[in-house]
Chains A and B, each alone.
Chain A
Amino acid sequence: MIIDWYTVLFQIINFLVLVFLLRRFLYGPIVRAMEERERKIVAREEEAEARTRESEEEARAYRQKTAELEERDRELLDQARSEAEKEGQRLLKETRNRVEETRQRWQREVAREKEVFLRELRSRMGRQACLIARRCLKDLADAELETMIWNVFLRKLKALSPEESGPLQEAFSREKQVLLSSSFEPAAKRLEETAASLEEIFAQKVQLAHQKDAGLVCGVELEVGGYRVAWSVEDYLEDVEKEILAHLEQSEKEALPDAEAG
Chain B
Amino acid sequence: MQISPDEITLFQFGWLHINATIFVTWIIMALLVVGSWLVTRNLQSEGPMSRWQNLLEVLVGAIAAQIREVGSRASGPYLPFIGTLFIFIAVSNVLSVVPGYVPPTSSLSTTAALAISVFLAVPVFGISQQGLRRYAGQYLQPTFFMLPFNVIGEISRTLALAVRLYGNIMSGTIIVAILLGIAPLFFPIVMQVLGLLTGLIQAYIFAILAMVYIASASRTHENIEGKGE
A residues lining the B interface (CB < 8 Å): 2-5, 7-12, 14-23, 25-27, 29-34, 36-37, 40
The verdict on B45 contacting chain A, using a C-beta distance below 8 Å, is: yes
Main secondary structure of the interface of B (DSSP, over half): helix
Q: Which residue of A lies closest to B17 (CB)?
A: A6
- Find the A residue at minimum CB distance from B109: A7
By a CB distance below 8 angstroms, the chain B residues around A17 are: 29
Pick from B25, B76, B80, B113: contact of A22, CB under 8 Å: B80
A33 and B112 CA atoms in complex are apart in Å by: 34
Please tell me if the beta carbons of A22 and B83 are within 8 angstroms of each other in the complex.
yes
Residue B160 at the chain A interface, CB threshold 8 Å: no
What residues of chain B lie closer than 8 Å to A7, measured between beta carbons? 6, 19, 21-22, 107, 109-110, 113
Extra pairs beyond A14-B29, A27-B83 (15, CB < 8 Å):
A3-B108, A7-B22, A8-B110, A8-B112, A8-B116, A10-B113, A11-B22, A18-B33, A23-B80, A25-B40, A26-B36, A30-B40, A30-B60, A31-B79, A37-B46
The reply to whether B84 and A15 contact each other, CB–CB distance below 8 Å, is yes
- The complex places the Cα of A4 from the Cα of B33 at a distance, in Å, of 26
- Cβ contact within 8 Å between A33 and B43: yes
We find that the number of chain B residues with CB closer than 8 angstroms to chain A is: 42
Q: Write the nearest CB–CB distance from B195 to chain A, whole angstroms.
A: 21
Contact of A21 among B33, B81, B110 (CB under 8 A): B33
- The answer to whether B57 touches A22, judged by C-beta atoms less than 8 angstroms apart, is no
Given the interface contacts A11-B109, A11-B114, A34-B60, does A22 sit within 8 Å of B87 by beta carbon? yes
Q: Which residues of A contact B84 (CB under 8 A)?
A: 15, 18-19, 22-23
Question: What's the Cα separation between A40 and B44 when bound, in Å?
Answer: 12
B113 partner residues in chain A, CB cutoff 8 A: 7-12, 14-15
A-B contact pairs, 12 of them (CB 8 A): A2-B108, A4-B6, A8-B116, A11-B25, A15-B88, A16-B117, A26-B36, A26-B60, A30-B40, A30-B56, A33-B57, A40-B46
Per-residue A-contact encoding for B46-78, CB less than 8 Å = 1, 0 else: 100000010011001100100000000000100
